[in-house]
Structures are given as C-alpha cells and as structure tokens.
C-alpha cells in the first residue's frame, strides 16, 4: 500500500525558546494542562519503549499516573514484558503524542521500582474491577482463549466477594528518573520546532534541535 500522499499540513504555532520554563517538568505541566483542556482522549497515555538484554526493543502504551520535578510514574505487572525488560535494562524512552495540539513530548530516563507502600496507595484507589483484573491476569503470558481469561476473572471475583482485593505480588509502581526531555511543535513545511532539555550534574541545558 502506497502512503506517499497521506500527509498533514501543520499550523503555524511557534515554540519560542525564550518562553520555555527553566525546568522541563514545569513546561510539561503547562502543556499537560492544555492537553486536558482540549478534551484529548486519555492525555496521560504514553508510549514507553523498553529494550531487553539482547537489545530487542518493545513498545506499548501505558498511563501516566503521577509526575514531579524530575520523574514520571506508572504502574504495571513486574512480570510483564516491560517489567522483565526493565529488570534487565532500565533505560526507557517515553513519548506523549497530542495530535490535536500538533505536539509531542519525548523523554529518556531510567526506570526504578517504587516502594511497595507507594504501589499499595495507588492500587487501593483503583476501581474494584481493575483490581481483580490485575490479580487475575498473568500479563504477557499466553492463554488458550478469551473465555479462559473471563473464567479466571470470575473465579477471582467470587473468591474476594466479601474481602478486600490484595495488592498482587507482581504488581509494581515504576519511577522514571529523567535525564532528557524534548518538546516538539508541528510547524508548516516540516520546519518543526524542537526544544530539548539535557540533564547535567546540577541543572538542565536547553537547546534547539533541527527538525
């Protein structure tokens, strides 16, 4: 299938380096709020790429659940493909794509497990169905068919009908400590704006990149 004619012309929305915040996560907070106001479907959805010890990459979408001055946080099954990859090689890359705003934000950093207490605090706030799903699913493992998954879910639901759903042993929080953040704004004629923040020992260095 030839897709050469499938293209989009971007609007002229400049990204001025002089107006960027000194701290990248302050700038991210501004963009994130603008994404929320645009009613983007799941503005906290992010692509996260991991690489195993053999150098084989895998990418998928997860949901951002917290961010602070130097980190992004998400939760997942530590026995999943991404969990196993991070155990072998904790360097990750993350991308937020907000196409309605013609924007991307790209991150690089190291993923580390959070404390058990941190994971428990978030897990306890999840809908009960999501808690049961996390307990019932051996994420990334092969299953016979969909009906098997539904049966395991129903059995788990029945088992804990009158009890609090426990935090699964293999369910963890991850903190991605950032060392690189790049803001991308679509511009006409493919002369897109790219402003990057590179972490140094004591601060962040701003630089403009060629599109």
Three-class SS string for the chain?
CCCCCCCCCCCCCCCCHHHCCCCHHHHHHHHHHHHHHCCCCCCCEEEEEEECCCCCEEEEEEECCEECCCEEEEEEECCCHHHHHHHHCCEEEEEEEEHHHCEEEEEEEEEEECCHHHHHHHHCCCCHHHHHHHHHCCCCCCCCCHHHHHHHHHHHHHHCCCCCCCCCCCEEEEEEEEEEEEEEECCHHHCCEEEEEEECCCCEEEEEECC
Instruction: Indicate if 119 and 143 belong to the same structural domain.
Output: no
pLDDT tens-digit map of 100-109: 999 999 999 9
Q: How many domains are contained in the chain? A: 2
Instruction: Indicate if 109 and 204 belong to the same structural domain.
Output: yes
146-171 mean pLDDT: 93
pLDDT tens-digit map of 65-109: 999 999 999 999 999 999 999 999 999 999 999 999 999 999 999
pTM of the model: 0.92
Instruction: Indicate if 106 and 151 belong to the same structural domain.
Output: no
Residue 134 belongs to what domain range? Answer: 126-166
pLDDT tens-digit map of 22-60: 999 999 999 999 999 998 999 999 999 999 999 999 999
**pLDDT of 4:** 79
**pLDDT of 107:** 99
């Amino acid at each position: 299938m030839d897709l050469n004619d499938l293209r989009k012309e971007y609007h002229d929305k400049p990204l001025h380096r002089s107006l960027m915040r000194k701290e990248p996560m302050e700038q991210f907070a501004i963009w994130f709020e603008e994404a929320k106001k645009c009613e983007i479907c799941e503005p906290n959805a992010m692509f996260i790429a991991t690489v195993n010890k053999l150098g084989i990459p895998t990418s998928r979408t997860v949901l951002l659940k917290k961010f602070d001055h130097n980190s992004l946080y998400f939760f997942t099954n530590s026995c999943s493909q991404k969990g196993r990859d991070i155990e072998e090689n904790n360097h990750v890359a993350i991308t937020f794509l907000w196409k309605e705003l013609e924007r991307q934000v790209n991150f690089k950093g190291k993923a580390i497990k959070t404390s058990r207490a941190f994971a428990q605090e978030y897990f306890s706030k999840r809908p009960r169905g999501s808690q049961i799903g996390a307990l019932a699913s051996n994420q990334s493992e092969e299953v016979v068919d969909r009906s098997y998954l539904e049966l395991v879910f129903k059995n788990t639901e029945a088992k804990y009908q009158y009890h609090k759903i426990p935090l699964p042993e293999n369910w963890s929080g991850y903190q991605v400590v950032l060392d690189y953040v790049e803001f991308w704004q679509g511009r006409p004629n493919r002369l897109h704006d790219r402003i990057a923040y590179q972490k140094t020992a004591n601060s962040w260095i701003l630089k403009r990149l060629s599109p």
